[in-house]
Structures are given as C-alpha cells and as structure tokens.
Structure 1
C-alpha cells in the first residue's frame, strides 16, 4: 500500500496512534454511545456494538451540542474515551469538548475522510502537523470491502454492517 497522508484544516491535541473505526455516520456522545460499556449503541449507527475505547474514530460529522461536549470529558475521566476523533466537518461545541476531554481531533479535509481511510487500519493523528497518516492497513482491504465482509485487523473489534 502506498503511504497515505491526509491534511486537515483544523486540529487540536497531542500526537496519537491507534486502530481506526471508520463510518460515514455522524457522532454524538450522547445518542450514539453506551458510555458505561464503551461501545457504539445506537442501532442505526454503522459502528453499533464496536468498542470506541482507545480507538481513533473517523466519522463524517459531529452532532449534538453541550451534552456531547461535556460527555467527552466525563468519558476521559473514566478512561473510556477514544484517543482521537477525525471528522469531515465539526461544530465548535464538539471541538471545545475534545479540548476539555483532552481528546485529539482533526477536521476539514479536501477529500471525504470516511472514504479515504480504511476501516480497521492503524493510523497516526498528528495535530501539530495537521495530518492523519495510515501506518498499517487492515488486512489489505479498503473500508467498504472491510465493512461488507465484516473483517477487522484485530479480534476485539466486531464489524456489524448496517442492513
């Protein structure tokens, strides 16, 4: 695989690397997550049933307001948070929540980030450089194929395609 480096217009936080959970869905800490179990819980979300803890979320857009923002801080205080969130578009309140929760964030790319980053790949988020770098692909497949076949790079992540 050719090295993939994507540049963001907006960034905050520290440099982190982890497995990417990718979906062309929005993100609301209030409505999409079971924050006690650390999994996506909204049945209509493409990542339902998957753990977000210690992962880098690559999603389309931020949803929600103040509740979603303070929940990121609360999740981090219990060590039940993603290490980074990457969006095509983000709202100011969720950006503030990521800062308060000490969760790295990138947003605003020239390409659809949910189509460019393979689901299950190992990625690096570098806010100082405003880059997302794919370090290792997931079993050599692109995001749509990985979703279709329910495959993942690591056993703990269970891919449940939306019907």
Structure 2
C-alpha cells in the first residue's frame, strides 16, 4: 500500500520501523540526544528510542536548536532515519536539511492515523511516497 504526500520531501530514500507520536514534537525538549529516548512523558511509552526509526508526528514545534540537535544525533548514531509530519514547518525542514535526515510532510488526511507503530515502511522523499511494506510483521499485498 502506498501513501502519497501532497509535495516532495528532502533526503534519501530509506526503510525502517514506524514510531507514531502522540501530539506535536519538539526535538530539543522531547529527546535525549545521547540515547534517542524520549524525555517528555505521554508522548510514547517509557524507554522508547527514536534511533533508526521512521518518526511520525502531527506537527513539529520548537526553534532552530533542532538543527544542531539532529546534527549531533546523527553524529552519535541516535537519530531517526526519517521524519514524517502532517505539518513539519520551516524550522524542521531546515533541521532535516542541515542534519541529513530525510523528511516528508503534507498529506491528504492525518498521516498519524494512516500509519501504526511497528509497521515497516519505505520512504521516498524525492517521490513524495511512503510504501507500507508490512503491518507489524504481516506482509501487505
């Protein structure tokens, strides 16, 4: 199954496991850069890390500190593989470009309700496409 964005994104194509957040996302205040684990309660289960995941959230919040934070997470190996938002906003687009983390946003409908935790997806920002490869271990036909 494929989900098309309303516009093309930035970055390289990648494959990974989906992690859907509850609510808006702030890189600076929600993440421990050394581990990739979430600091803010109730955004995900305790102890969950963004490391190597396809991070999905409604919208991004925060400022330009997101750029250096994601850049450092890439250096440390704790960064997500890709960012997917309903509305990323210009600051998160800048952070993606600076850090080299792929990003895709703007969909027909709420992307947070179209993807589920544990799904494996292929993200192609240059094509504006997310392909669901399996549904938490079950292949999609």
Which structure 1 segments of 5+ residues have no match? Answer: 141-163
Map of 1:26 onto structure 2: 24
1:89–1:15 Cα change, 3 Å = same
Query: For the residues of structure 2 that align with 1:33 and 1:47, how far apart are their CA atoms?
Result: 13
Query: For the residues of structure 2 that align with 1:32 and 1:135, how far apart are their CA atoms?
Result: 28
Which structure 2 segments of 5+ residues have no match? Answer: none
Whether contact under 8 Å (2:51, 2:81) holds in the other structure is yes
Map of 2:115 onto structure 1: 117
Size of the aligned set, in residue pairs, is: 138
Query: For the residues of structure 1 that align with 2:6 and 2:76, how far apart are their CA atoms?
Result: 29
1:54–1:110 Cα change, 3 Å = same
Whether contact under 8 Å (1:14, 1:127) holds in the other structure is yes
> Which of 54, 59, 62 is residue 60 of structure 2 equivalent to?
62
**Larger strand fraction of residues:** 1
Cα displacement string for residues 89-136 of structure 1 (whole angstroms, at most 9, x for unaligned residues): 011111111111100000000110000012110011101111111111
Map of 1:155 onto structure 2: none
Query: For the residues of structure 1 that align with 2:120 and 2:132, how far apart are their CA atoms?
Result: 6
Cα displacement string for residues 24-82 of structure 1 (whole angstroms, at most 9, x for unaligned residues): 42111111111112211211313542111000001110110011222111111111100
Query: For the residues of structure 2 that align with 1:98 and 1:67, how far apart are their CA atoms?
Result: 12
TM (normalized to structure 2)? 0.91
1:4–1:24 Cα change, 3 Å = farther
Runs of 4+ off more than 6 Å: none
Whether contact under 8 Å (2:19, 2:53) holds in the other structure is yes
Query: For the residues of structure 2 that align with 1:32 and 1:102, how far apart are their CA atoms?
Result: 20
TM (normalized to structure 1)? 0.79
Q: What's the RMSD between the two structures over aligned residues?
A: 1.4
> Which of 95, 99, 102 is residue 101 of structure 1 equivalent to?
99
